[in-house]
Amino acid sequence: MQTRTTYIFPLLFLSLFGAMYGQDKTDDIGTETVTVVKPYSPTVSDAFKIKSTPSLNDSIVLQKKKIDYSIFSVPVASTFTPAKGKASAVKKTPPPTLYNSYASVGLGNYNNALVDFYTSREFNRGEDLLDFGLTHNSSRGDLDSTPLDTDFYNTKLDVSYAKKDRYMDWGAAVGLQHQLYNWYGIQNGVYSEDLVASMDETQNYFNAEAKAHLNMEDSFFKQGNILLRRFWDATESGENRVVVNPTIELPITEELITISAKFDYVGGNFKNASLNSTTNDGEINYSQFQAGVTPSLLILRDDLTVNLGANIVYGLDAENSDSNFYIYPAVTASYRVMEDNVIAYGGIEGQLKQNSYHDFVDENPYVSPTLDIQPTDQQYEGYVGLKGQLTSNIGYNLKGSYMAENRKPLFYLNPENTFRDDEKSYYYGNSFQVFYDDVKTLGVFGEINVDVNRNFTLGVNAEFYDYDTETDNPAWNLPSIKGSLFLDYQIDKQWYMGANLFYIGERDDLMAVAEQNALPNEFPAMIVTLDGFFDANAHVGYRFNDQLSIFVKASNIANNNYQRWANFRVQGFQALAGVSYKFDF
């Protein structure tokens, strides 16, 4: 410490002397410029971090004593056995038991009978399926409004086989059908009892057909259908029908082109001439062939779906050596305006519709076996509509349409032609003929479906039509108003019920009397208007278990003997009770 003091004092003395000398020279100091070449750049020296665990050199640090541990095990006897844990299962509703066979039998007033049987068998783990079905519906009751028999029955047998593979499925079916109807459209007191007793008003229809289909995946050939049918009756009338429909699909980039083809032949003959002739002087033969192709382009864009196509058909009337080419539009479109709530749709389509004796009988079984069979040239049907859901359980569909048809088939009564003596008694004004007219139809359709809950559904629809005919005649037997209401209610596990109500508006028909040496339009005739009618039907059933149930059906609950066709009244109130049973066969 002494040595440091010796140097400090001389340094302080020199500093003070320099300061005094500088003050004496202040008058001559002058001015100088100082230029700073480099700015001040401070540096940070390396920091010294204190060790977290400093080393201790203290000789008094205590040393840890090493300890050795050992365990002395003694076995202990135990009789405790823990219980096995069991998972808690969620209670599930057992799936319904499925049976491969079903049988139902019912009997009612008017000697009505109902038989329905169906069975299905699977083979090769469900890849092959064989179905067998038999249905019968008949009535042997009479009506007070006519002296003729009003019996009818309809029996049908169907057998089908289907096979499913990984990339295709195909199947074939055969069907046999027998129908019996009576031309009972004669009122009491019109003819003598002896003449009525000599009448043979019974008609029998027979049908035998075979069908086949083929559907393929991952192939340009998409599907194909074939129909072969033979239809004949008790008056030696017969008809053959062959229909082949192949379809191919050609995907091109993001679009899809579909080409559907159609080959349709119908031919047959009636042994008796038209009832517009007072003499039964010859057969009626017909042979119609159609070959058509319908190419279409499917365009999908977000909520828009458009199908652009055309229907090109060649029609040949081989019996009259007449042929024509027809081109029809085939354009449809739909657009989701508001998801599933509002869907707008529309289109314009046309076709050459093949008519047949079989189809006419399905629509009106009281036609005479003296018909003229021609195809209908449906030039176009344009329509626009809205459909969707108002709420999650209410659906709707509204549509407006306009259709133009040439040779549209209309039914009206054959003239009373007592000059004829055909084997069957259908020439007393108690059968129907087909009249072809060019008709333009304006239509409006509306429908609402309500799912009240999962066990209760309700639906109602209505249709309104306005007809414009080329001949200025009424559109024979076509109503201007049609409507229906249906409901289905599963009351509880055992009870269920349903109902169907429908209304058909007024229709016009023609009653005429044949005269010799006169044209049909010269026959004495008058137009008759059939009243509209309302019909209500309902059924209720009770299930004892999954297999056995009973049911009761009621038809024409209003007991209204209305005329479905002119002079053909229906049975009044009808009740039928029966039993149904499901089983494995």
Domain extent, residue 205, equals 101-250+263-291+364-583
Q: pLDDT digits over 366-377, tens only?
A: 999 999 999 999
CATH number reported for the structural domain that contains residue 148 in this entry: 2.40.170.20
Reported confidence tier of residue 20, pLDDT bands at 50, 70, 90: very low
Reported confidence tier of residue 463, pLDDT bands at 50, 70, 90: very high
Q: pLDDT digits over 309-350, tens only?
A: 999 999 999 999 999 999 999 999 999 999 889 999 999 999
Residue 472: exposure state from Cβ atoms within 10 A (0-12, 13-18, ≥19): exposed
Name the H helices within 156-207: 193-198
Reported confidence tier of residue 90, pLDDT bands at 50, 70, 90: low
User: Which has the minimum average pLDDT: 58-62, 89-93, 282-286, 489-493?
Assistant: 58-62
Residues 6+ apart with CB under 8 A from 89: none
Give the residue with greater pLDDT, 224 vs 89.
Answer: 224
Reported confidence tier of residue 23, pLDDT bands at 50, 70, 90: very low
Q: Residue 408, SS3? A: strand
At residue 389, the pLDDT reads 93
Reported confidence tier of residue 123, pLDDT bands at 50, 70, 90: confident
User: Which has the minimum average pLDDT: 90-94, 241-245, 363-367, 463-467?
Assistant: 90-94
For residues 485 and 459, the answer to whether their CB atoms sit within 8 Å is yes
Which residue, 239, 284, 247, is CA-closest to 265?
Answer: 239
Q: pLDDT digits over 51-74, tens only?
A: 445 554 544 445 555 666 566 555
Which residue, 551, 579, 583, is CA-closest to 119?
Answer: 583
- Continuous segment of H or E residues that includes residue 11: helix 2-24
In angstroms, the CA 394 to CA 447 distance is 11
| Residue 18 within any structural domain of the chain | no
Cα separations in angstroms, 145 against 20, 184, 297, 314: 158, 10, 57, 48
Phi and psi, residue 478, nearest 5°: -105, 125
Total domain count, the chain: 1
| Residue 50 within any structural domain of the chain | no
At residue 98, the pLDDT reads 82
In angstroms, the CA 142 to CA 153 distance is 13
Q: If you search the block for the tokens 């008609």, which residue do you land on?
A: 203
At residue 24, the pLDDT reads 43
At residue 4, the pLDDT reads 44
User: Which has the minimum average pLDDT: 9-23, 42-56, 247-261, 466-480?
Assistant: 9-23
At residue 254, the pLDDT reads 77
Extended beta strands in 238-341, E state: 238-252, 255-270, 284-301, 304-317, 322-338
Give the residue with greater pLDDT, 243 vs 58.
Answer: 243
At residue 80, the pLDDT reads 58
The yes-or-no verdict on residue 11 having pLDDT over 50 is: no
The yes-or-no verdict on residue 411 having pLDDT over 90 is: yes
At residue 9, the pLDDT reads 40
At residue 396, the pLDDT reads 96
For residues 514 and 415, the answer to whether their CB atoms sit within 8 Å is yes
DSSP readout, 477-545? T--SEEEEEEEEE--SSSEEEEEEEEEE--EEEEEEB--TT--GGGS-EEEEEEPPEEEEEEEEEEESS
Query: Which amino acid, one-letter code, is at 237?
Result: S
The yes-or-no verdict on residue 302 having pLDDT over 90 is: no
In angstroms, the CA 354 to CA 244 distance is 13
Q: What is the mean pLDDT of residues 375-394?
A: 95
| Residue 437 within any structural domain of the chain | yes
Reported confidence tier of residue 218, pLDDT bands at 50, 70, 90: confident
The yes-or-no verdict on residue 49 having pLDDT over 80 is: no
In angstroms, the CA 473 to CA 38 distance is 117
Q: What is the mean pLDDT of residues 172-186?
A: 97
| Residue 439 within any structural domain of the chain | yes
Q: Residue 110, SS3? A: helix
In angstroms, the CA 121 to CA 134 distance is 15
- Continuous segment of H or E residues that includes residue 161: strand 152-164
Q: In the structure encoding, which two tokens stand for residue 213, read together?
A: 């289909």
Identify any residues that bridge with 409 across adjacent strands, giving them in sequence order: 436
Supply the mean pLDDT for the chain. Answer: 88
- What share of the chain has pLDDT > 70, as a percent? 84
| Residue 332 within any structural domain of the chain | no
In angstroms, the CA 576 to CA 539 distance is 9
The yes-or-no verdict on residue 265 having pLDDT over 80 is: yes
| Residue 358 within any structural domain of the chain | no
Phi and psi, residue 194, nearest 5°: -65, -40
Q: What is the mean pLDDT of residues 485-501?
A: 94
In angstroms, the CA 500 to CA 484 distance is 7
For residues 413 and 432, the answer to whether their CB atoms sit within 8 Å is yes
The yes-or-no verdict on residue 429 having pLDDT over 60 is: yes
At residue 55, the pLDDT reads 53
Q: In the structure encoding, which two tokens stand for residue 198, read together?
A: 């000599």
| Residue 160 within any structural domain of the chain | yes
Give the residue with greater pLDDT, 426 vs 301.
Answer: 426
Residues 6+ apart with CB under 8 A from 581: 102, 103, 104, 547, 548, 549
Q: pLDDT digits over 102-119, tens only?
A: 999 999 999 999 999 999
Which residue, 210, 218, 226, 138, is CA-closest to 178?
Answer: 138
How many Cβ atoms sit within 10 Å of the Cβ of residue 309?
20
The yes-or-no verdict on residue 228 having pLDDT over 60 is: yes
Q: pLDDT digits over 128-164, tens only?
A: 999 999 999 999 988 999 999 999 999 999 999 999 9
Instruction: Tell me the whole-structure pTM to 2 decimals.
Output: 0.82
The yes-or-no verdict on residue 27 having pLDDT over 50 is: no
In angstroms, the CA 140 to CA 431 distance is 20
| Residue 73 within any structural domain of the chain | no
